[in-house]
Amino acid sequence: MRAGPWDAFWSVAVPLARPGFITGAILGVAHTVGEFGIVLMIGGSIPGKTRVVSVQIYHHVKALEYAQAHGLAGGMVLFSFLVLLALYLFNPPRRKGA
């Protein structure tokens, strides 16, 4: 239909790939929230300044404060559920043949 390569890319390829972009963005954020090692190595636990949930759970377990660690871990599970729910709502499954 005489569309140039860029027009075809922006009109066809990008809209078809949008669910993948949304999925990648949501899962990227969720993965970053749960990342422990890199956060601990790069400024994730500056005493009195920063505190990340995964590092805080580690400190609670190290101090044998299991109730607090369980509460934070439960909060992260709830957060993960909400991320997956958002992923499902923003990217509903497609019917075959549609």
List the domain boundaries for the chain.
5-90
Q: Are 35 and 54 in contact (CB under 8 A)?
A: yes
pLDDT of residue 65: 94
Residues 23-65 have pLDDT tens digits of 888 888 777 776 766 666 666 566 777 777 877 888 899 999 9
Q: Is the pLDDT of residue 19 over 70?
A: yes
Does this model's pTM top 0.85? no
Distance between CA atoms of residues 69 and 65, nearest Å: 6
At 34 the pLDDT is 67
Confidence of residue 98 (pLDDT cuts 50, 70, 90): low
